[in-house]
Structures are given as C-alpha cells and as structure tokens.
C-alpha cells in the first residue's frame, strides 16, 4: 500500500520504483545504449508516472511506456508514433492544447484528462509479464483512489490494459460479474463511471488500419461527453 497523499507525491514515488528486476535492467540498458537517432539525448530511464490534472474527470489508460518514447522523454506517449496518433486525436476533440508531444516542457496541456498505465516501466518487446503487472498494480490503485472524487469516464487502450484495470476498478466502482469483455467501442456503465474500450494506438494497429483516427476520435468524443467535458 502506498502512503502518498497527493498525485504529485505519487508521481515522484512512482519514478523511483525498482520493484521489478527485469524491467529495471531493461529500461536502464535502453537508456544507456540508446537508439541512434537519439544518441545525443539523455534518456529518462526510470518508471514513467501518469500525467494530467489532479481533478481529471477522464482517464486514459495505456499499456506501458515505449522504450524510446516515454522511457526516453519521461512522459507517457511522448516522443513516439503511438503518441503522435493519441495526441492528435485528443487535440482534435478538444482535450489537448496541441496535436503533438515531443518532450517534457513542450507546452502540452491536457484538459480534464489524465493519462496513465498499469505498468510504468518500458518492458522488453512491449510485453510486461503478469507478475510485473501485478507488482505495479498498487500505483494504479492509489492513483485511481485519488481521482475517484472527480473521475467520470475512462478509456482503456487495448486488451492488456482492460484486463489489468478491471481488478483495480472493482473496489471503487461496481464492476459486473462476469467481467465485461474488451472490444473496440465497448461502453460499460460502472455506477458514476463509464468505461470505454479502444484498440491500442500501437503502430501495429494504426499502420494496418485496424484503428483509424476516426475510430479513436469517436470513442474519445463519447468519453468526453460522459466525463462532462463536452
């Protein structure tokens, strides 16, 4: 159980976590070896906390930071192609101040929206283990406890995030049994929270057309309305 009392304190604590040896070794290895195109940059190389206002009414939950995205920049979805798709869509529906995010300090603001993930370290091959997911779970539990008074909608990107977040939601909102199944465009009422599913903004999905910008915007628009941000 974490003891932080504010999201700012929680974010600092997340960034210092070393609970998963495999993830610690990988994220630090990537930060040292770097990608050639970023050879002159200093990588973050630590767990990446969530970001967005402490009174957010909409949460977006991904999977884990990208090795040369969030693990490099220190901010979720910042500096990679998945982020390019997500932030463009958020901008298009009025939830972000700009359509791109390249680094911390680039001026990006999220409106009523917080972005987080069930795993805060970049995993090898973008695949955290179930044990790593469960070890990271207390951070998401505490984050959602803090957001509980204002949170009214959540968009989960991908099946991994969906499966990871349902046990976290259950103590705070009435999750039905059997648990709702993931699918793009799925919408599930959980008391005063509405849960939405979307395919992940991974290149595998966006390059193949499985997830189009129009599909993502449609889910975000519905979630925005449910969050009272329309």
Structure tokens at 131: 């044990």
Rounded Cα distance between 49 and 157, Å, is 17
Rounded distance between C-alpha atoms, residue 162 and residue 168, angstroms: 10
What per-residue confidence (pLDDT) applies to 3?
Answer: 77
Helix (H, G, I), strand (E, B) or coil at 153: strand
10-residue mean pLDDT series, the chain (230 residues): 86 98 98 96 98 98 97 97 97 98 96 98 96 97 97 98 97 96 98 98 96 98 96
Q: Is 114 helix (H, G, I), strand (E, B) or coil?
A: strand
The predicted structure's pLDDT at residue 1: 58
Look up residue 108 and give its two tokens. Answer: 């990006």
- The pLDDT score that the predictor gives to residue 173 is 98
What is the pTM for the complete model shown? 0.96
CA distance 59 to 56: 7
Q: Is 150 helix (H, G, I), strand (E, B) or coil?
A: coil
Q: What is the pLDDT of residue 230?
A: 80
Q: What is the pLDDT of residue 9?
A: 97
Query: Tell me, what's the pLDDT at 4?
Result: 81
> In 10 A of CB 100, how many CB atoms?
14
């Amino acid at each position: 159980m974490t003891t932080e009392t504010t999201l700012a304190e929680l974010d600092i604590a997340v960034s210092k976590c070393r609970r998963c040896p495999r993830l610690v070794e990988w994220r630090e290895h990537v930060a040292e070896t770097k990608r050639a195109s970023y050879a002159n940059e200093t990588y973050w190389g630590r767990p990446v906390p969530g970001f967005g206002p402490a009174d957010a009414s909409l949460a977006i939950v991904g999977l884990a930071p990208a090795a040369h995205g969030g693990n490099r920049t220190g901010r979720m979805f910042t500096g990679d192609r998945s982020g390019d798709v997500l932030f463009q869509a958020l901008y298009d529906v009025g939830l972000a101040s700009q359509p791109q995010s390249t680094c911390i300090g680039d001026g990006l603001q999220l409106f009523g929206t917080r972005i987080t993930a069930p795993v805060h370290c970049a995993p090898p091959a973008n695949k955290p283990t179930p044990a790593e997911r469960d070890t990271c779970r207390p951070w998401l539990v505490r984050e959602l406890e803090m957001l509980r008074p204002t949170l009214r909608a959540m968009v989960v990107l991908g099946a991994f995030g969906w499966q990871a977040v349902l046990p976290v939601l259950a103590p705070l909102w009435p999750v039905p049994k059997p648990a709702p199944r993931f699918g793009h465009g799925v919408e599930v009422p959980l008391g005063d929270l509405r849960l939405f599913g979307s395919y992940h903004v991974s290149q595998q999905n966006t390059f193949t057309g499985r997830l189009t910008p129009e599909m993502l915007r449609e889910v975000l628009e519905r979630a925005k309305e449910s969050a009272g941000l329309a």
